[in-house]
């Protein structure tokens, strides 16, 4: 899923906004679902999309998977720009 | 200073909401219907100056504008005095201005603190006490509602980041508690530390107390693929000092935190924040919390490793004791262990099943201790009574290890490793998938080992012959899936070399 397609989905934007505002956060699908007020199953799928797009990092363990924001400066500034344009539109 | 800032923010928020309040506008309209015409103003300070009032009144009072053009301050002085009175009495205070017009000042309060006033003037008739009471009650309710809203917003702003941080700590705890493998755990802690600190590099070092040195166990650097693992002497550099003094050592671009349980076992150090900002006290607190969790996870993994060593030691000792009966029969050969584990790996056995397979590879024939030595080495055919005795060895093996709780998962492999895939084996005549996977693997490896290693009662077969024999019995004695994996494993160069070295010494 490319970054522009991601920005057409509300749930993906909500997740991105959460991680962009809380860049040190690592959370499970259940945690993220709570913070953004969406259903866990949908959040889980969207989180994996964002991992594939290299915007999020998945920390996989046997009991759960923790998701965190990328450390890549370029991706972060691109997301910042897109979130800003989304807010102003 | 913080309290003043908070109070100012609160006051600002309160008046912003009052200005935007639709309810207050409606209330003003209602009152205006009763006592028209009226001018309204909000004074957003508990101690306004004359100049502030002049500005406010001049903007909202048309009479003031028309009559004095902003030069006559008599009216303003009256309002100023009334405000002082309202501040003292903290109650609604009425007045009449120089133009003989009526008005009132109502103080806005919360828990005894005065934040400002709502004022009204340019009323030709005096306002009746009933109207004023309705106004005061309505305004009080409105202010209380706004106060609640502000408090909730403040609570949300304060609690949410902390709740998110707490959730992160909880997730990290789950992630690092889910493995007891130190080689997996320590790099994972390093990666998570990097993520939480938004840093470029993290290094975890554990102490070698004898040598008074910190040994690098994991270093992750987002800027480099290959990193140098450096030892550090206790007391030297940030990690060495954090270890020596048992407290965090923070510089602009580094933060070292000791891993302390009952004693200090190592240090986590993070370097260079991604945003190039210095490490803060908050960073120190967060990484210290992570270090507290990390040290427990590391200690647990170390204890688990130690327990595994003890278990393996006990198993090997048991095999050594058994081996005194028939030297070379029970002490495990590394190459067969390797074959069994490689098959297990290729068949995607989980960690627990792999461990059981490893133990079973050593102990699978331990039950032969109940079979007389003469019988085990008898070159001629066994009588049916003798064969029954031999067939009892899997059960005897289980009896032997049943008091070692840690070997509980090994018992099905030992008990069923002589079951045949077609159901003709013993002790229960289980078929196909009824036989545990570990036992199906052990059946192949055990038979292969027995064929190519020296036994007093029969001659040794060549490796190639033994492989053919395994192939021949695929689907009858052995699981065809296991045989197919076995054939792949046995053809590996490293396995061939290990076998030849162990069996023939070259």
Is B453 among the domain residues? yes
ipTM at complex level: 0.92
* Cis check: omega of the bond before B197, within 30 degrees of 0: no
Q: Give the CATH number for residue B77.
A: 3.30.450
Pair B122, B56: CB distance under 8 Å: no
Same-domain pairing of B65 and B140: yes
Contacting residues of B for A59, CB less than 8 Å apart: 175, 188, 191-192, 195
For domain A3-80, give its CATH number from 3.10.450.50, 1.10.10.10, 3.60.21.10, 2.40.420.20: 1.10.10.10
Residues B108 and B199 in one domain: no
Q: Which residue has the tokens 């691109």?
A: A78
Looking at the structure, do residues B69 and B199 belong to the same domain, yes or no? Answer: no
B201/B205 Cα distance (integer angstroms): 13
Q: Enumerate the residues of chain B whose CB falls inside 8 A of the CB of residue A31.
A: 167, 170-171
Interface probe, candidates B159, B172, B175, chain A, greatest A C-beta count within 10 A: B175
Residue B489 placed within a domain: yes
Residue at B388 is within a domain: yes
Asked if A22 has any chain B CB less than 8 Å from its own CB, the reply is yes
Is B164's CB within 8 Å of A64's CB? no
Q: What is residue B88's three-state secondary structure?
A: helix
Q: Which of B149, B168, B202 is the last residue of a domain?
A: B149
Query: Distance between CA B64 and CA B59 in Å, rounded?
Result: 9
Residue of B nearest to A35 (CA): B164
Question: Which of B167, B191, B200 has the CB atom closest to A59's CB atom?
Answer: B191
CA proximity to B117, closest of B31, B23, B25, B43: B43
Same domain, B283 and B351: no
The whole-angstrom separation of Cα B170 and Cα A69 is 17
Residues of chain B positioned with their CB less than 8 A from the CB of A24? 165, 168, 195-198, 286
pLDDT score at B458: 63
Residue B319 lies in a domain: no
Q: Which residues contact B228 (CB under 8 A, 6 or more apart)?
A: B219
Q: Do B230 and B111 share a domain, yes or no?
A: no
Task: Tell me how many residue pairs between chain A and chain B have CB atoms under 8 A apart.
Answer: 67
pLDDT, tens digit (0-9, with 9 covering 90-100), for B416-444: 988 999 999 888 889 899 999 999 999 99
Indicate whether B161 belongs to any domain.
Answer: no
Please tell me which residue of chain A has the smallest CA distance to B165.
A25
Cα nearest neighbour of A31 on chain B: B167
**Ranges under pLDDT 50 in chain B:** 1-3
- Least CB-CB distance to B168: which of A27, A57, A61? A27
Spacing of C-alpha B147 from chain mean position: 37
Q: How far apart are the first and last CA of chain B?
A: 81
Residue B177 lies inside a defined structural domain of this protein: no
Secondary structure (3-state) at B172: helix
Contact flag A28-B198 (C-beta cutoff 8 Å): no
Which chain B residue's Cα is nearest to A21? Answer: B161
- pLDDT of amino acid B196: 92
Domain boundary among B149, B171, B202: B149
Gap between the Cα atoms of B353 and B345, Å rounded = 10
Domain extent, residue B474, equals 324-504
**Cα distance from B189 to chain A (closest Cα, Å)?**
11
Indicate if B189 and B136 belong to the same structural domain.
no
Mean residue pLDDT of chain A comes to 90
Residue B167 distance to chain A (closest CA, Å): 7
| Token pair recorded at residue B176 | 């690092």
For B265-324, the pLDDT digits (tens) are 999 999 999 889 999 998 999 999 999 999 999 999 999 989 888 888 888 887 787 777
Asked if A77 reaches chain B (Cβ–Cβ under 8 Å), the answer is no
Residues B438, B295 share a domain: no
What is the C-alpha to C-alpha distance for residues B101 and B61, in angstroms, rounded to an integer?
11
Indicate the residue among B272, B302, B332 that finishes a domain: B302
Same structural domain for residues B348 and B488? yes
Cβ of residue A51 closer than 8 Å to a chain B Cβ: no
pLDDT reading at A50 higher than 50: yes
Q: pLDDT value at position B35?
A: 67
Radius of gyration of chain B (CA): 42
- CB-CB contact of B40 with B120 (8 Å): yes
* pTM of the model as a whole: 0.67
- CATH number of the CATH domain containing B286: 3.30.450.40
Report, in angstroms and rounded to the nearest whole number, the Rg of chain A calculated over CA atoms.
Answer: 12
Q: B217 phi and psi, to 5 degrees? A: -110, -30
Chain B contact present for A31, CB below 8 A? yes
A80 touches B: beta carbon within 8 Å: no
Q: How many domains does chain B have?
A: 3
Given this model, what pLDDT does residue A35 score? 93
Q: Say how far apart CA B488 and CA B378 lie, in whole Å.
A: 34
**Mean predicted lDDT score pLDDT of chain B:** 84
Report the alpha-carbon distance of residue B127 to residue B164 in Å, rounded.
Answer: 53
* Whether B164 and A35 lie within 8 Å, measured CB to CB: yes
Residue A24: which of B178, B188, B198 has the nearest Cβ? B198
Residue A38 in this model has a pLDDT that exceeds 90: yes
Encode burial over B86-110: b for 16+ CB neighbours within 10 A, e otherwise.
Answer: bbeeeebbebebebebbbbbbbbbb
Q: What is the DSSP letter of B206?
A: E
Q: What is the 3-state secondary structure (H, E, C) of B411-479?
A: HHHHHHCCCCCCCCCCCCCCCHHHCCHHHHHHHHHHHHHHHHCCECCECCCCHHHHHHHHHHCECCCEC
Tell me the three-class secondary structure of B385-428, residue by residue.
HHHHHHHCHHHHHHHHHCCCHHHHHHHHHHHHCCCCCCCCCCCC
Whether B424 and B370 share a structural domain: yes
Residues B407, B477, single domain; the answer is yes
Same domain flag for B474 and B339: yes
Q: Check whether residue B97 and residue B23 sit in a common domain.
A: yes
Look at chain A and count its residues.
89
Q: How far is B409 from chain A (nearest CA, A)?
A: 20
CA B19 to chain centre: 46
Question: Could you tell me which chain A residue has the CA closest to the CA of B201?
Answer: A71
DSSP A42-84: HHHHHHHHHHHTTSEEEEE-SS-EEEEE---HHHHHHHHHHHH
Q: Chain B within 8 Å of A61 (Cβ-Cβ)? A: yes
């Amino acid at each position: 899923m490319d970054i522009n397609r991601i920005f057409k989905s509300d749930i993906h934007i909500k997740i991105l906004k959460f991680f962009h505002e809380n860049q040190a956060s690592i959370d499970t699908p259940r945690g993220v679902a709570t913070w953004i007020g969406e259903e866990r199953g949908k959040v889980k799928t969207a989180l994996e999309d964002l991992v594939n797009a290299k915007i999020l990092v998945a920390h996989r363990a046997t009991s759960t998977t923790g998701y965190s924001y990328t450390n890549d400066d370029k991706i972060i500034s691109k997301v910042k720009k897109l979130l800003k344009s989304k807010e102003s539109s | 200073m913080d309290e003043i800032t908070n109070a100012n923010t609160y006051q600002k928020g309160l008046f912003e909401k009052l200005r935007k309040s639709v309810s207050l506008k409606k209330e003003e309209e209602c009152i205006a219907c009763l006592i028209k015409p009226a001018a309204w103003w909000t004074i957003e300070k508990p101690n306004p100056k004359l100049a502030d009032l002049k500005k406010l009144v001049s903007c909202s009072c048309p009479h003031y504008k028309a009559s004095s053009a902003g030069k006559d301050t008599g009216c303003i002085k009256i309002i100023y005095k009334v405000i002082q009175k309202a501040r003292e009495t903290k109650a609604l205070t009425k007045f009449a201005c120089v133009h003989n017009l009526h008005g009132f000042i109502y103080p806005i309060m919360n828990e005894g603190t005065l934040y400002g006033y709502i004022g009204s003037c340019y009323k030709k008739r005096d306002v009746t006490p009933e109207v004023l009471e309705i106004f005061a009650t309505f305004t009080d309710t409105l202010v209380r509602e706004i106060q609640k809203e502000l408090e909730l917003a403040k609570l949300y702003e304060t609690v949410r980041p902390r709740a998110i941080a707490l959730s992160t700590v909880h997730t990290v705890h789950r992630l690092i508690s889910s493995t007891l493998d130190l080689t997996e755990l320590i790099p994972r802690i390093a990666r998570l530390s990097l993520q939480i600190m938004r840093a470029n590099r993290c290094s975890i070092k554990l102490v070698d107390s004898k040598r008074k040195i910190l040994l690098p166990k994991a270093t992750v650097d987002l800027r480099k693929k290959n990193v140098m693992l450096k030892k550090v002497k206790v007391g030297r550099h940030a990690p060495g000092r954090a270890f020596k003094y048992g407290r965090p050592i923070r510089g602009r671009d580094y933060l070292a935190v000791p891993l302390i349980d009952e004693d200090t076992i190592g240090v986590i150090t993070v370097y260079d924040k991604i945003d190039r900002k210095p490490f803060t006290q908050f960073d120190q607190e967060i990484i210290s919390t992570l270090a507290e969790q990390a040290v427990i996870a590391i200690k647990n993994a170390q204890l688990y490793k130690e327990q595994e060593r003890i278990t393996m030691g006990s198993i090997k000792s048991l095999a050594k004791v058994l081996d005194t009966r028939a030297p070379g029969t029970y002490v495990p050969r590394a190459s067969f262990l390797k074959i069994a584990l490689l098959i297990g790996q290729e068949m995607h056995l989980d960690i627990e099943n792999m461990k059981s397979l490893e133990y079973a590879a050593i102990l699978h024939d331990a039950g032969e201790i109940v079979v007389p030595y003469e019988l085990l080495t008898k070159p001629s055919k066994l009588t049916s009574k003798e064969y029954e005795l031999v067939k009892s060895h899997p059960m005897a093996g289980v009896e032997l290890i049943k008091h070692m709780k840690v070997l509980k998962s090994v018992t099905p492999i030992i008990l069923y490793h002589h079951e045949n895939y077609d159901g003709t084996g013993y002790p229960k005549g289980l078929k196909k998938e009824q036989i545990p996977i570990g036992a199906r693997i052990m059946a192949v490896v055990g038979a292969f080992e027995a064929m190519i290693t020296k036994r007093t009662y029969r001659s040794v077969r060549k490796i190639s012959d033994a492989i053919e024999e395994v192939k021949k019995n695929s689907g009858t004695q052995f699981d065809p899936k296991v045989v197919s994996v076995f054939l792949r494993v046995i053809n590996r160069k490293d396995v061939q070399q290990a076998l030849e070295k162990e069996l023939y010494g070259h």
